[in-house]
Amino acid sequence: MKYHGWFKPQHDLEYARRALKAGLDGFEIIGGQSHYDPVEFKRYRENIKRIQEELPASFTLHAPITDINLGSINRRIRQASIDDVKAALEFALEIGASAVAVHASPGILAMPGGRWSQDTESPAVQDELIHQEQLLLEALRELAGFAPEIPICLENLVYPHELYRSPREMRELLEKVGCPNVQATLDVGHAVVSGWDPVRFVHDNFETIRHVHLHDNHGFVDEHLPLGQGTIDYLHVIKALQQHGYEGVITFEFYPESPERFADYLRQFS
């Protein structure tokens, strides 16, 4: 198992050095060019390049998520979403990331497509849902073909308006996509907020899990707290992953009080 932490635009090289010294193996990069001010993004890329050149770090990358719906039934939004994720995949290739975390289809369609509309009998809404999933599958296959060398790891999502939250939904989605480089990111915090036991997730879906996001919460809000500050039994999750011989990356998706704190978590896991 390898451990990564966030490296975001607000972090500097000194932070990276200290995190690696505390035992991290590398960093998860936030690949959302359209979210950043161009000057900020340029500096961010330069920092990442320096890490590549000067420090012994591996990378994973998080594709942009906010307002992205790869299955949007709005053609222009869908295209913009695909373009945004493609830009992230190019960035991942450039930095040699071993996995890219992607949110499949949250979103607004999720508005009529989430739990609420599953409660409604409206055939029109059901048609829309099926339509969105078809579009999503096409989009994911397009992305998989665009970067066949990168594992695209779809993340289990969080809130009731989102699709793809349960172990079964995730398994079925991946089966339908049917591309070898489209796999899963297990997000431990999301699993808990959406009411699924992350340990179950590991046991039921292990063969698809190529990437893990680890952070804490109190079971209701996706708080992204440092481990131990919420109520998640994260040690059991780690143990389950160890039992299965997980060899991928676990990304700590929270801001530690200081990069040195990573050493404490790593000690707990060994």
Partner 1 sequence: MRYHCWFGPQHDWDFAERAIKAGLDGFELFGWLRQFPEEEAREYREKAKRLKAELNAGLTVHAPFMDINLGSINSRIRQVCLEEVRDALEFAREVGASAVAVHTAPGIMGMTEGSWVREHPRPSSGLLAQRELAVRAVQDLADFAPDLLLCLENLIYPHELYRSPEEMRELVRRVDRSNVGITLDVGHAAVCGYNPRDFVQLLSDEILHVHLHDNHGSADEHLPPGKGTIDYVGVIQSLKQLDYQGVITFEFELENPEDYAAYLY
The three-state secondary structure class of 252 is strand
- Is residue 138 a contact point for partner 1 (CB under 8 A)? no
Using CA atoms, how far residue 91 sits from 31, 94, 180, 260, in Å, is: 7, 5, 21, 28
The Cα 64–Cα 86 span in angstroms is 10
Residue range at the interface with partner 1 (CB under 8 A); choices 80-88, 144-152, 169-177, 196-204:
80-88
Binding test (CB under 8 A) with partner 1, winner from 47, 60, 81, 251:
81
Is 60 or 117 the residue whose CB approaches partner 1 more closely? Answer: 117
Binding test (CB under 8 A) with partner 1, winner from 3, 4, 51, 84:
84
Residue range at the interface with partner 1 (CB under 8 A); choices 202-210, 217-225, 233-241, 259-267:
217-225
Binding test (CB under 8 A) with partner 1, winner from 56, 75, 247, 257:
75
In eight-state DSSP terms, residue 97 is -
Tell me how crowded residue 254 is: count the other CB atoms within 10 A of its CB. Answer: 20
Residue range at the interface with partner 1 (CB under 8 A); choices 43-51, 107-115, 239-247, 257-265:
107-115
- DSSP H helical segments within the chain, as ranges? 13-21, 38-54, 75-95, 110-113, 115-119, 123-146, 167-177, 188-193, 198-205, 234-243, 262-269
Residue range at the interface with partner 1 (CB under 8 A); choices 14-22, 109-117, 172-180, 262-270:
109-117
Cα-based angle 58, 65, 261 (whole degrees, multiple of 5): 45
Shortest distance, position 64 Cβ to partner 1, whole Å: 6
Q: Is 195:167 a contact under the CB 8 Å cutoff?
A: no
Q: From residue 16 to residue 55, what is the string marking binding to partner 1 with x (rule CB under 8 A)?
A: ----------------x-xx--------------------
Tell me which residues in 230-269 interact with partner 1 (CB under 8 A): none
The Cα 219–Cα 112 span in angstroms is 24
Find the largest Cα–Cα distance for the chain.
Answer: 58
- Is residue 120 a contact point for partner 1 (CB under 8 A)? yes
**End-to-end C-alpha distance for the chain, whole angstroms:** 11
Tell me which residues in 87-106 interact with partner 1 (CB under 8 A): 106
- Is residue 112 a contact point for partner 1 (CB under 8 A)? yes
Shortest distance, position 2 Cβ to partner 1, whole Å: 27
Q: Is the dihedral of CA 62, 63, 68, 70 positive or negative?
A: negative
Give the CA count within 13 Å in the CB-facing half-sphere of 262: 27
Shortest distance, position 270 Cβ to partner 1, whole Å: 33
Tell me which residues in 146-175 interact with partner 1 (CB under 8 A): 158-162
- Is residue 213 a contact point for partner 1 (CB under 8 A)? no
State the residues that interact with partner 1 by CB under 8 A. Answer: 32, 34-35, 64-69, 72-77, 79-81, 83-84, 106-112, 114, 116-117, 119-120, 122, 158-162, 220-223
